[in-house]
Amino acid sequence: MRTIAIGDPQAPFVTFLGVLQHHRLLGADGRLRADVHLVSMGDHFDFGKPDVREQATADGEAILRWLADHPPEQVTILLGNHDLARVCELRGYSDEAFGLAHTEARALYEAKADEAEFLTRHPSVPDSEALARDYSCFSVSQRELVTELLRSGRFRLSAHHAGMLLVHAGVTREDLAAVGIEATHAVAVSDALNALLDARVAAWTTGPLDLGPLHQPGSAARGEGRGVLYQRPCDPAVEDPRKLDGPPRRRFDPRQLPDTFAQVIGHIRDGKCRELMPAWCEPGPALDATLRSLTVSGDGVRYEPRCNPDARLYFTDAGMLHVPPESYPLLDLDTRQPLEPMR
């Protein structure tokens, strides 16, 4: 069995399948080969320009249904912030209400107009951009599917493989301490994170799913979402210190990652990494179609466009929407290197 991580599949369904086909992960029936275990790193919705919003809405749901149609022994589906938003920020919308809100939000966002009155009517989102762009491809059937996969235990907050922890945006020692989890080893941490998710889902009846203090949905009152599905690594020297307040946080210092195991994340592409960690990057342009890694040694941090075997953090979001399917890399979780197409 080959265990493989695929970064944020925010792309057309045909592109997603094309990536898998290029790596020879599909059988003649169009499903995953029996010797493949695929870990989807989260974020299955919201991509593309406004003129493809209807198709993108359908494609995101199709990708998630295709993954969930495989048994859990073959596909692990991690929660991303876009997935959880369906039962948090977007929990109260019908299809009609969302369509109207999206149209109004897009006009406000593009005009950079005052949105105070808009937010009094849409208090579950932090700003007009959330409905105009960030969560632009919502449908009620998506929310129903996310709810079903949460209640059935198919959505996971984390996974582990070969001594590594897999989680959508990464966890720090303080994140774990906030919920009483000791940063011992990846198996114990993953089990504890998933037990927390299962307990919160079991207690969930109405309103947003509460995963605090690990996750705080965005809202008009509290601003942008924060926590282990939202946060990104940064150099504190170049970031607004308020974003590092927490947990839950918008940004984290990678020197606060546990040193007892490596982590694999999605959520952030190369360009954003270079913006948030300029002094720790090799010179060069932002690159999609590239797996990256971050190493920590004492106070020293190094971010590089390759998979360092000694990395503390591996990055799998390689911009699926923006590159040809045959260029999109997958992470072989056993070798900690880009997957070579299977035979």
Give pLDDT tens digits for 266-297.
999 999 999 999 999 999 999 999 999 999 99
196 close to 157: Cβ distance less than 8 angstroms: yes
Number of domains in the chain: 1
Q: What are the φ and ψ backbone dihedral angles of 166, each rounded to 5 degrees?
A: -110, 125
Residue 158 lies in domain: 2-90+135-233+318-338
b/e map 109-135, b = 16+ CB within 10 Å: beeeeebeebbeebebbbbbbbbbbbb
Residue 97 lies in a domain: no
Matching residue, tokens 């994140």: 175
Interatomic CA distance for residues 214 and 268, integer angstroms: 18
Entry pTM? 0.97
Residue 100 lies in a domain: no
Residue 46 lies in a domain: yes
Residue 127 lies in a domain: no
Read off the pLDDT of each residue in 203-224 and give the average, rounded to a whole number: 97
Q: What is the DSSP string of 270-282?
A: HHHHHHH-GGGBP
Residue 75 lies in a domain: yes
Residue 238 lies in a domain: no
Q: What would the pLDDT profile of 32-88 be if each residue is shown by its tens digit?
A: 999 999 999 999 999 999 999 999 999 999 999 999 999 999 999 999 999 999 999
Residue 274 lies in a domain: no
Residue 303 lies in a domain: no
- Whether the link from the prior residue into 248 is cis, omega within 30° of 0, is yes
